[in-house]
Amino acid sequence: KGDNERGIAEIYNLLGAVNYVMGHSDKALEYYNSSLEIFRKIGEKLTVSKVYNNIGLILYEEKKYEEALEYYEDALIGFNLSENEIAICGLYGNMSLCYFEINQISKALEFIHKSRRLAISIESTIDEIGSYVNLGSFQRIIMKLDSAEFYLDKALRLSTKNNIRPLLLETYSELSSLYAVKNDYKTAYEYQLKYVQLKDEIHQKESEVRIENLMISYEQKFKQNEIVRLLSEQDSHSLINKVFGALVVVTLVLLFILVYGYSGNRKKGRLLEEKNKLLITSNLKLVESESSLKKVIDDKDKLFTIIAHDLRNPVAAVSGFSELLFDNFDQLDDATRKEYISQIIQGSVRTYELLENLLLWARSQMDSISAKKTETNIRSLIEDSVVSVQANIQRKDIHLNINIESDFTLKVDFEMMKAVIRNLITNAVKFSFPSGKVEIKCYALEKIYCIEIVDQGIGMEPEIINDLFKQKNGATTLGTVGESGSGLGLMICKDYTEMNGGKIEVSSRPGRGSTFTVCLPLTEEST
């Protein structure tokens, strides 16, 4: 009977864990409490402590920090009695998080240091790294930035050395937050990029493991089916022998007919051969056309996949924050409401920009669309372009300097060139660090007029520059504060500039910024 009760309690505990992972906290608590009741009854003190810890985790996530601490303290009693040092080490870390949330900083630091010392003593590398990450986070929040950097550096070295990728991911995230607080946006951006890349790698690896498991399952099923098939073949072997005899007779008859008809068909065969040659030539041309068409379609599909991905985030932000604001308006303070509204505005602006670029690009791909050139004043063109991206400039506190040496009038399509300048300014702002500088230079050379957009941002490697204006280039780089992009903007810039008889060039160095130069022909009237 005791074994049966223990088994039932363990099943309840497992069901609690499954529901916890699935996000069903209420159901998880129900199962954990059922498990707890049985384990108490049969006197399983160690397992009771584990269930206490599990319930504490749920209460912590529900922000019931003081209740969570009560369960953690009960769990600690059982773990101490059983001298389960690994469990105690993790429990110290959990308790430190609770104390930090209720603003008992000294108690939080006391328990996280206990966790760290015990982890070192029992050589639990994972718990040691976790304690350094938490210490770094605590110190950053209370603005002891040098201490935060010290602990996070330890976490970085240990997680890298031992290749513990989930903890390395957490460390990158904390380091990015730390350097952002220190106003070192370049380093913060570098760690954010590492975080995104590692997260993608982990996701890719998990996908590969899932696919591999499916393949193994498929192969096992296939082998089972093959065994069944072989057994079935043995039963039908005698029937096949009988059928084979009949097939031999039929084959001999067909062979006779073919030999008899061969001499009469030779003349027809020569005519067919000539026709076949023509058909083969036509088919080869058709295959080449189909291949070219398939490549165009593949490129378009890839592009629209990127656009769909990039649209999802801002649309989700608008939808999510709108619902939060609507459902909790009376409970939220003014600062939180403003933050939600800010997120909604940013999502709306990003969606609008992407859709506008998509429409512009679609126009540029239609052969019937051509530049409608009119007399255009350069200063008006630049000023109109800047106004349309002013929100982006202000949001990042970018210092924009406009230097127009020669205020010429050019014959170009005003709306097309406005789209070009707007996209280049947006690009410069995206890759500039907050409070950075962007400069627009306009000047005339012998027979051309040049517009330069210069930033002092992250710059680019040569291999990125080579593929910058190519449609097949799907991957785009995140901006300095995580801004995404589809790559459409620069494709539009190239197409529209060339439609107006000009060309676009770029020069860049990693860490030194980028310069995009649009050169347009001067007419006789301009000079």
> How far is residue 379 CA from its own chain's centroid?
39
At 210, which amino acid appears? Answer: R
pLDDT of residue 524: 58
According to the model, what pLDDT value does residue 438 have? 94
CA–CA separation, 340 vs 401, rounded Å?
32
Burial class of 503 by CB neighbour count within 10 A (0 to 12, 13 to 18, 19+): middle
How far is Cα 461 from Cα 475, in angstroms, rounded to an integer? Answer: 14
Quote the pTM value: 0.46
Tokens of 438: 């962007």
Task: Give residue 249's pLDDT.
Answer: 44
Give 504's DSSP letter.
E
- Strands (DSSP E) contained in 144-221 are none
Q: What is the pLDDT of residue 206?
A: 61
509 backbone dihedrals φ, ψ, rounded to 5°: -135, 135
Q: What is the pLDDT of residue 347?
A: 67
Distance of CA 432 to the CA centre of its chain: 21
Beta strands 374-377; 437-444: pairing state: unpaired
The sign of the dihedral angle between the CA atoms of 368, 370, 374, 380 is positive
CA distances from 284 to 290, 292, 298, 397 (A): 10, 12, 21, 58
**Can you name the residues that pair with 437 across neighbouring β-strands?**
399
User: What gap in Å lies between CA 429 and CA 421, rounded to an integer?
Assistant: 12
Mean pLDDT by 10 residues, the chain (527 residues): 72 83 82 84 77 86 88 83 80 88 88 88 88 90 89 91 88 90 84 84 65 53 52 48 45 43 44 50 53 55 50 63 75 80 72 65 59 88 86 85 85 89 90 90 89 91 78 59 68 87 91 92 65
C-alpha 277/C-alpha 275 separation (Å) is 5
- pLDDT number for residue 361: 59
Distance, in Å, from the CA atom of 196 to the CA atom of 157, rounded to the nearest integer, reads 19
Q: Give 150-159 contacts, CB < 8 A, sequence gap 24+.
A: 152/178, 155/129, 158/125, 158/128, 158/129, 158/132, 159/129
Backbone dihedral angles phi then psi of residue 514, each to the nearest 5 degrees: -135, 155
The token pair at 68 is: 């969570």
d(CA 309, CA 129): 34
Q: What is the pLDDT of residue 370?
A: 74
